[in-house]
Amino acid sequence: MNVVVTGGNRGIGYAVSAELARRGHRVVVVARDAARGEQALRSLPGEAELVVGDLSTVAGMRGVAERLAEVCPRIDVLVHNAGLWPSRLTLTPDGLEESFAVNHLAPFTLNRLLEDRLARVVQVSAGLYVKGKADPGRTPHGADFHPLRTYADTKLCNVAVLPLFAERWRARGGTIDAVHPGVINTGLGARSGPVGLLLKAAKRFWKTPDQGAAPVVALTEGSTTGRYFNEFEEIPMHVDRELGLRLWEQAEKLSGIA
């Protein structure tokens, strides 16, 4: 089985990659930093390959899709794990808020560009998406940026289009599900100063990346579609279809797919 894991060089992504490699699958790790990606690859058991690319830019997203198409004629599972929780507003060269690009637009773009060779997609989500208040007119460009809420907003964008992908792929047998892996001790959302110290102390009591990887790995072998899981338990998905349709149309334009 060919499995692609974005952000597969560290944290939950690395733990997912390692477990899937141990199970005998061919793993393709997508990483932004070549040196860190190669380092991760050397420690993975079994067959593994690296694709280097920046998922914060549209050109980078397209470059990753092209490279994946070269190395994987068929992608049995694509795990969207790469994600950002920014503490300050950063705009990409495309004029997009960086976490919107990585958390939402990149998975959408890879799904669309690779859909003819995709069998299954697993989206690593966050339960905080239910707190999101995404505004298609403001969120993509950071006009409503907030160091805490923006993460939830961008995760909501990502979840809102998931049912539309499930509908689009149902006839040909493609599947897509999302999973909240739990509250995991990784570098996501790291902060400096007093807040950073408090967060670091709290993280000591959170689950490990290996524990967070377990429900993600379980879903790679699933057959459901259009579902949302809180770790191993399926729960209702709370999304506005009209918002999803607006975000879909917008993502097509922003990615150049329209």
Give whole-number Cα distances, 112 to 70, 149, 238, in Å: 16, 27, 23
Q: Which of 1, 34, 32, 30 is nearest to 14 (CA)?
A: 30
Q: Which of 14, 129, 151, 228 is catalytic?
A: 151
CB neighbours (10 Å) of residue 110? 26
Is 151 a catalytic site residue?
yes
3-state SS track over 122-140: EEECCHHHHHCCCCCCCHH
CA atoms lying within 13 Å on the CB side of residue 10? 14
Place of tokens 């007093």: 194
Q: What does the DSSP 8-state code read for residue 3?
A: E
State the catalytic residues: 151
